[in-house]
Amino acid sequence: MIINKFHKITVLLLSFLSLSLSVLSEPHFKSLKLKEIYMLLPGNICRQIENLSSSSVKSQIIDAKSIIPNHSLSIRFNQNKQVVHIGLHIVFNSLEDPYQEVYDYMERTLLYYALLKDKDRIIKKMGEEQILLKYNQQNLPANQIISVLSSFHFDQDTELRLDSNEDSFLASWQMKNSTFLQMGFPNNYTVICGRTKDVIEREIMDELQANAIPSVLIGKTDQSDLEFYHDELYVKKGKILLDYPYINSDTYYMKNKDGSCNPVFNQKYFKESTANIFQNLIRTNQKIIITHKLYGNREEQFTLNLNGFLNFFSADYHTYFGWQRGDSSEDLVASMFVKNQIFNFMHLLIIKTNSNLILNKNSTIEGTLYTFIPQNHISL
Amino acid sequence: MNTLTLRFPILKLIIAVFGSLLISIAGLTQITKVDVVLTGGVEDQALKKKIEINLEKLLNKINTSYEAESQKLNLSGNWFSDGFSKEIEEFWEHSHFYCKLHQINENVIFENFTGYYTIRNIPIVLNSGDTTEVKVSFLNEGIIDGFSIAIGRVQYKNSMKYTCTIDLTRKEIILNFMENMKTAYIKKDIDFIESIYSDKALIIIGKKSKIQEAGNSGDGVRLSLSQEKIEYIEMTKAEYIERLKGVFQRNSYINLSFDSFQLLKHRKYDDFYGVTLRQRWNTPTYSDVGIMFFLIQFQEDSLPKIWVRTWQDEKSVKDSSVYGFADFIIR
């Protein structure tokens, strides 16, 4: 009897221990969507992911024939060993590709449908995310997704074309046997990245503080690009934001005696000089205290080198600048609109300053930042 | 709707071609009288006549003042509002202009969103020689209340550059707010949702349900027909929040997305904005697509505030009956 009781307690303890171990070994995920997918995976694949997450592996391709014949899974981890991607391995590209998040979304979504299995749930989810799947120009029925994907062999030679506009993406695969698969979906960043606005706001705040490396845009300005503006000033016309001619990416120059030209930076032309600063043409030691307006009526402050802040957005964004108040040098209010070139969202920085402060290369200015403002299907 | 989308580009093209001919002729010929003939858009014949007469009065007053090189327009009578008079005098002070057509043949468009009858595409020539088009807005009684110029075509005022930036900045802050609101529903963050509605907010919600009706196919076979029924309910903020708590509890997830945004500033109340959008609402057991209207107060130092939130079923609502500014009185 005593032995039996002891045995029961041991079994209970062992069960508890194994349960605890299994909880402890569950990987961390960058988004809830990834966790949802993980929960749907077969046990053997979950265990492989758990093992990988405890190693120093950054990315791995693992066999997925238990989910879908002839296919592999692509799994990636970040430096914190968080799972950042799980998807059907159908895109073969460099991770430096600016469209990486789009490819991840496609891989993740098709894996999710393969795991859902139930036709009605797939139809519902496709409707919710407004996803269109076509096979040889015909709509692909939900119950045929797995069989069609199984018949496809994706590799380095598979031709993938990605078309996009402000509102949507369209991926088209052309197979060697002339079959054709297409996947269309909205250009909606929070859906594509699989994280909500509150999460990505905090991520960009961390990234800014870690990666805002000071650098300015030094490009040779060809005189033929310049138009006479007024007095001694010349303008290099940039783009206009929407239909607003005064919100643009124009930059301003003065010509030297030798015929060369430099971006203007002086008190006399404080407005044009300020525009040049925010187009990151002026090397400065200035700092900017950013008040980041976050989801839930919260805000956080952090300080960055101004060139570092502007340089952070130089690769994937286009910057537009406009004045809210600019008649008096003592009271300047401007807006900087930073539009992402791939995804249809914008960041907005509002600066309240004066000309003495903004033109002092050792000063600290202040700005209010709003991030990830969607621009899809908007008529303003 | 199809007629409009087809017709307008053609009309614009005709005006542009005709207009460019007139520009070259305008320097040689005298500015003449303008006739207005409305081609449709308003059924009330008395109102139609009044709009025609008042627009003719305005355009002819403008043309005679241009010819006389008058420093002021000095409008008189009761066919326009005080606000309009101030607005057009301000414009005139900056740049004189005239209407370049002998006859205006346009449709009247009722903008449910703003509550105005409007006539668009009226071509004008500015002192500078620039040409542009204007829109004139009329109140219910045919009284002229607004005059707006196509943005981007002409740089008529220095202050315009500031107005543009302020306007777009505010609109982006409101769009940011809308995205945060959407996030709050997805996260089931009832506290945040409660904080963004005015305590006096007016809320109209709708719910789709299916009713089964017995029918007869005519050959003796009884059919069970399923029909959609839309139920609209007007609520206070407290009632809405209480209902929403139940929705959040009953559903494992809420998924919603917004598109087809239209964002306009109220003509009279600078801090009030109207947002119409299409919402796709999805929960595990219920989905709908609705057209929503939000009346939102922009506040400089705090979050925007929602005063009105309406939902109308996308399938059953007609364009002209979508809620807009005109349906709500701000006091």
CATH number of the domain enclosing B278:
3.10.450.50
Q: Is A374 on the interface with B (CB under 8 A)?
A: yes
The secondary element (H helix, E strand) that includes residue A261 is: strand A261-263
Residue reference for tokens 């002209």: B320
Instruction: Clarify whether residues B143 and B234 are in a common domain.
Output: no
> Considering only residues 281 to 310 of chain A, which have any Cβ-Cβ distance to chain B shorter than 8 Å?
293, 295-297
Name the closest residue on chain A to residue B184, using Cα atoms: A296
Measure B60 CA to nearest chain A CA, in Å. 30
Residues B171 and B49 in one domain: no
Tell me the shortest Cα–Cα distance from A258 to chain B, in angstroms. Answer: 34
Label residues B61-75 b or e (16+ Cβ within 10 Å = b).
bbbebbeeeeeebeb
Q: Cβ(B177)–Cβ(B192) under 8 Å?
A: no
Out of A4-13, B55-64, B189-198, B204-213, least confident range: A4-13
Interface test with A, best of B154, B180, B258, B263 (most A CBs within 10 A): B180
In 3D space, the residue among B8, B57, B20 whose CA is nearest the CA of residue B35 turns out to be B57
Query: Which chain B residue's Cα is nearest to A325?
Result: B162
Q: Is the per-residue pLDDT at B9 higher than 50?
A: no
Cβ-in-10-Å burial (0-12, 13-18, 19+) of A139 comes to exposed
Alpha carbon distance B23, A334 (integer Å): 38
CB under 8 A, 24+ apart: contacts of B55-61: B55/B104, B55/B119, B55/B136, B55/B144, B58/B136, B58/B144, B59/B34, B59/B99, B59/B104, B59/B122, B60/B33, B60/B34
Three-class SS state of B207: strand
Minimum CA–CA partner of B279 in chain A: A128
Question: Considering only CB atoms, which chain A residues are within 8 Å of B286?
Answer: none
Residues 6+ apart with CB under 8 A from A361: A282, A284, A285, A286
Cβ–Cβ gap B168/A334 under 8 Å: no
The token pair at A39 is 């929960």
Using a CB–CB cutoff of 8 Å, tell me whether A166 touches chain B: no
Residues of chain A falling short of pLDDT 50:
1-3, 14, 16-24
In this structure, are B226 and B252 located in the same domain?
yes
Q: What is the distance between the alpha carbons of residues B50 and A348, in angstroms, rounded to a whole number?
A: 45
State residue B178 phi and psi, 5-degree precision.
Answer: -65, -40
What does pLDDT average to over chain B? 79
Return d(Cα B11, Cα B109) in angstroms, integer: 14
Say if residue B96's pLDDT is above 70: yes
Residues of B in Cβ contact (< 8 Å) with A346 = 172
CB-CB neighbors (< 8 A) of B168 in chain A: 241-242, 244, 247, 322, 335, 337, 380
Asked whether the beta carbons of residue A245 and residue B183 sit closer than 8 angstroms, the reply is no
Q: How far is B180 from chain A (nearest CA, A)?
A: 6
Which residue in B330, B308, B311, B331 sits closest to B322, CA to CA?
B311
pLDDT at B206 (0 to 100): 86
For residue B282, which residues of chain A lie inside 8 Å, CB to CB?
A: 124, 127-128
CB contact under 8 A, A323 and B195: no
Residues B263 and B133 in one domain: no
Is B262 close to A379, i.e. CB distance below 8 A?
yes
Q: DSSP readout, A45-68?
A: HHHHHHHHHTTT--EEEEE-TTTS
Q: How far is B166 from chain A (nearest CA, A)?
A: 5
Of A124, A190, A374, the CB nearest to B175: A374
The three-class DSSP label of residue A157 is coil
Among candidate residues B157, B182, B198, the one where a domain is terminated: B157
| Strand ranges of the sheet holding A364-374, from the earlier edge strand across to the other edge | A240-241, A244-248, A317-325, A332-340, A345-353, A364-374, A287-294, A298-305
In chain B, residues with a C-beta closer than 8 Å to the C-beta of A191 are 257
At residue B16 the predicted structure's pLDDT band, cuts being 50, 70 and 90, is: very low
Residues 6+ apart with CB under 8 A from B128: B95
Are residues B153 and B211 part of one domain?
Answer: no
| Cβ contact A241:B149 at 8 Å | no
Question: Measured between CB atoms, which of A243, A377, A380 is closest to B171?
Answer: A380
Tell me whether 0.90 is exceeded by the ipTM.
no
Residue A172 three-state SS: strand
**Does B96 share its domain with B180?**
no
Specify whether the CB–CB gap between A348 and A278 falls below 8 A: no
B132 forms bridges with which residues in the sheet? B124
Q: Do B161 and A246 touch (CB under 8 A)?
A: yes
* B19 and B62 co-located in one domain: yes
Inform me whether the C-beta atom of residue A199 falls under 8 Å from chain B C-beta atoms. Answer: no
CA-CA-CA-CA dihedral for B264, B266, B272, B273, to nearest 10:
-10
Give the closest-approach CA distance of B148 to chain A in angstroms: 15
Alpha-carbon gap, residue B72 to B89, rounded angstroms: 7
Report the C-alpha gap between B167 and B52 in whole angstroms.
32
Report residue B287 as tokens: 């989905």
Do both B276 and B189 map to the same domain? yes
| Least Cα separation, residue A323 to chain B (angstroms) | 6
Write out the residue range of the structural domain in which residue B299 sits.
Answer: 161-327
Cβ–Cβ < 8 Å for B256, B279: yes
Whether A91 contacts A101, CB under 8 Å: no
pLDDT at B320 over 70: no
Q: Which residue of B has its CA nearest to A126?
A: B282
Q: What pLDDT band is residue B218 in, cutting at 50, 70 and 90?
A: very low
Query: Do the Cβ atoms of A165 and A136 come closer than 8 Å?
Result: no
Residues B99, B49 share a domain: yes
Integer Cα distance of B101 and B119 in angstroms = 14
Contacts of B169 in chain A (CB under 8 A): 322, 324, 335, 348, 350
Q: Which of A233, A231, A228, A284 is nearest to A262 (CA)?
A: A233
Q: Residue A296 is nearest to which of B165, B172, B192, comparing CB atoms?
A: B192
pLDDT digits (tens, 9 = 90+) for B221-280: 444 445 677 888 899 999 999 999 999 999 999 999 998 888 988 877 889 999 999 999
User: Does residue B133 share a domain with residue B17?
Assistant: yes
Q: Could you read off the pLDDT of B291-313 as tens digits, one per residue?
A: 999 999 999 888 999 999 999 99
- For A231: left if phi > 0, alpha if psi spans -120 to 50, otherwise beta; the answer is left
Least Cα distance to A290 among A360, A238, A338, A342 occurs for A338
Check residue A286 and give its pLDDT: 96
| pLDDT at residue B152, rounded to an integer | 39
Residue B199: predicted pLDDT: 94
User: Percentage of residues in chain B with pLDDT exceeding 90?
Assistant: 38
Question: Which of B148, B149, B169 to probe by mutation at the A interface, max A CB count within 10 Å?
Answer: B169
**Domain-ending residue, one of B157, B181, B211:** B157
Smallest CA-to-CA distance from A320 within A378, A246, A264, A269 is with: A246
- The mean per-residue pLDDT over the stretch B90-105 comes to 82
Task: Tell me which amino acid residue A129 is.
Answer: E
Q: Choose from B168, B191, B256, B278 for mutation: most chain A CBs within 10 A.
A: B168
- Whole-angstrom Cα distance, residue A121 to residue B119? 49
Cβ contact (<8 Å) for B165 and A376? no
Give the separation between CA B153 and CA A106, rounded to whole angstroms.
42
Averaged pLDDT for residues B180-205: 95
Which of the listed ranges A347-351, B70-74, B285-289 does the model predict with the highest average pLDDT?
Answer: A347-351
Question: How far apart (Å, rounded) are the C-alpha atoms in residues A223 and A254?
Answer: 10
CB A262 within 8 A of CB A339: no
Find the CB nearest B162 among A240, A297, A323.
A323
Q: B325, B310, B331, B308: which is closest to B201 by C-alpha?
A: B308
pLDDT per position as a tens digit, B158-191: 556 788 899 899 999 999 999 999 999 999 999 9
Q: Both B134 and B78 in a single domain?
A: yes
Six token digits for residue A151: 């018949």
Rounded distance between C-alpha atoms, residue A106 and residue A173, angstroms = 12
Put simply, the answer to whether B257 touches A335 (Cβ < 8 Å) is no
Closest-CA residue in chain A for B150?
Answer: A243
**Contact status, residue A88 vs residue A150, Cβ threshold 8 Å:** no
Average pLDDT over residues B54-77: 89
Of residues B6 and A338, more confidently modeled? A338
Block residue for tokens 């130092």: B301
Which residue in B175, B260, B282 is closest to A373 by CB distance?
Answer: B175
Is residue B84 within 8 Å of residue B73, measured between CB atoms? no
Output the DSSP codes for B270-324: TTEEEEEEEEEEE-SS-EEEEEEEEEEE--TTS--EEEEEEEEETTT--GGGS--
How many structural domains compose chain B?
2
Q: Which among A128, A295, A370 has CB closest to B172?
A: A370
Residue A63 backbone zone (phi > 0: left; psi -120 to 50: alpha; other: beta): beta
Contact state of A377 with B259 under an 8 Å Cβ cutoff: yes
Nearest neighbour of A196 by CB, restricted to B183, B262, B263: B183
Domain end call among B139, B157, B175: B157
Same domain, B218 and B306: yes
